[in-house]
Amino acid sequence: MSEQGTYVEKSYNRDTRYITDRITRDGRDGWPVEAGRYRLVVSRACPWANRAIIVRRLLGLEDALSMGICGPTHDKRSWTFDLDPGGVDPVLGIPRLQDAFFKRDPDYPRGITVPAIVDVPSGAVVTNDFKQITVDLETEWSDFHRDGAPDLYPAALQDEIEAVAEPIYQDINNGVYKCGFAGSQESYDESYRRLFARLDEVSDRLRSRRYLVGDHITEADVRLFTTLVRFDPVYHGHFKCNRSKLSEMPVLWAYARDLFQTPGFGDTIDFTHIKQHYYCVHRDVNPTGIVPLGPDLSNWAAPHGREELGGSPFGDGTPPGPVREPVDPDHNPVLSAVK
């Protein structure tokens, strides 16, 4: 997702007018679930896209849903496939994600965002509704889940997952952006206070339970993780979310390391891409474009001790297999240590 938004009374308001078509088992929006038909387009830099990367891997959907990876930076026009030979996506045959949006609507007026799912035969974007994408991967795509895939969105827990995740989205996932893109001191102060009040509240919830909802990983944990893993490298300094580092909040730090060390989470994280995106693209926040060398991220491999709280990452399921689209080990110090 590019951070398109508007400033109302100098507060940041994210533009959430997405293409909301859904890919479903019954194809009611005209897009039936079909293995091999669609391509998930992401950037490893983006926390919203990172959710889809994690869910796809946990569920073992690699053979059913291919993935195109954009580079960490973009201009005002679009995310680009600059990591691919010739700067062209090998499946879609396009250099810019905007080409797929314009294939859907030649006059598409809004931001070109990731994640997006593209219909390969037509070359047109089906949806860029990041929240619905992961829920549908978990529910509508179940015929293509791997054996042993965890149930990330259990029917009996869906209401609780959404009730827990909604304030996390408002005050943490989007809250860091409200701090970073605040246009006034008053707006920043309010967003900062809401962010850390919510982090403290979530910390209290996780003090006696291993996961946010239930006794194994769910969609709620995926949504929180992708913000927490970016907190110290980016949000603490770049977005002025600097009351405390994640590594100075004991419960949340242990919780985040627990997830990071779980197959499907940390092995999707490209810290180099994350830092390059925020520090290079957000020139209004970081005019020089200088990317900091720190912090030292090797501490993500430190023991977390969360096993004592019970539960298990995958419930009755099993871990995902080997990574099919690996992160460059030099971009993740934990992976680098074991390469």
Residue 18 within a domain: yes
Same domain assignment for residues 186 and 261: yes
Residue 149 within a domain: no
Same domain assignment for residues 191 and 135: no
Residue 98 within a domain: yes
- Across the beta sheet with 66-70, the strand order is 66-70, 38-43, 116-119, 124-127
**Residues with catalytic annotation?**
46, 177
Asked whether the beta carbons of 98 and 112 are under 8 A apart, the reply is yes
Same domain assignment for residues 186 and 129: no
Polymer length of the chain? 339
Q: Tell me how far apart the terminal alpha carbons of the chain are, to the nearest angstrom.
A: 30
Residue 2 has, within 13 A of its CA and on its CB side, a CA count of: 21
209-212 long-range Cβ contacts below 8 angstroms, 24+ apart: 209/309, 209/311, 210/255, 210/258, 210/306, 210/307, 210/309, 210/310, 210/311, 211/311, 212/161, 212/164, 212/165
Same domain assignment for residues 134 and 168: no
What is the token pair recorded at 84? 């691919």
Q: How confident is the model at residue 3 (pLDDT cuts 50, 70, 90)?
A: low
Same domain assignment for residues 266 and 301: yes
Same domain assignment for residues 182 and 51: no
pLDDT digits (tens, 9 = 90+) for 217-272: 999 999 999 999 999 999 999 999 999 999 999 999 999 999 999 999 999 999 99
Same domain assignment for residues 201 and 285: yes
DSSP secondary structure letters along 303-329: ---GGGG---TTTTS----S-SSPPPG
Residue 199 within a domain: yes
Chosen domain end from 92, 121, 144: 144
Q: How far lies 97's CA from each of 47, 62, 268, 274, in Å?
A: 17, 20, 21, 19
Same domain assignment for residues 125 and 212: no
pTM for the structure as a whole: 0.96
Asked whether the beta carbons of 268 and 223 are under 8 A apart, the reply is no
Supply the pLDDT for residue 8.
45
Same domain assignment for residues 219 and 130: no
Residue 193 within a domain: yes
In CATH, what number is assigned to the domain containing residue 331?
Answer: 1.20.1050.10
Average pLDDT over residues 198-219: 98
Same domain assignment for residues 130 and 183: no
Q: What does the angle CA 322 – CA 325 – CA 326 come to, to the nearest 5 degrees? A: 75
Same domain assignment for residues 200 and 89: no
In CATH, what number is assigned to the domain containing residue 111?
Answer: 3.40.30.10
- What is the SS3 assignment for 119? strand
Residue 105 within a domain: yes
Residue 63 within a domain: yes
Chosen domain end from 144, 166, 194: 144
Supply the pLDDT for residue 11.
77
Same domain assignment for residues 334 and 206: yes
Domain that holds residue 215: 155-338
Chosen domain end from 110, 144, 178: 144
Scored b (16 or more CB within 10 A) or e, 112-140 reads bbbbbbbbbeebbbbbbbbbbbbbbbbbb
Asked whether the beta carbons of 189 and 170 are under 8 A apart, the reply is no
79 is an annotated ligand-binding site residue: yes
Is the pLDDT reported for residue 6 higher than 60?
Answer: no
The Cβ of residue 305 has, within 10 Å, a number of other Cβ atoms equal to 10
Question: What is the rounded CA–CA span in Å between residue 140 and residue 125?
Answer: 18
When divided into structural domains, the chain yields a total of 2
Supply the pLDDT for residue 69.
98
Percent of the chain residues topping a pLDDT of 90: 92
Residue 321 within a domain: yes
pLDDT digits (tens, 9 = 90+) for 94-120: 999 999 999 999 999 999 999 999 999
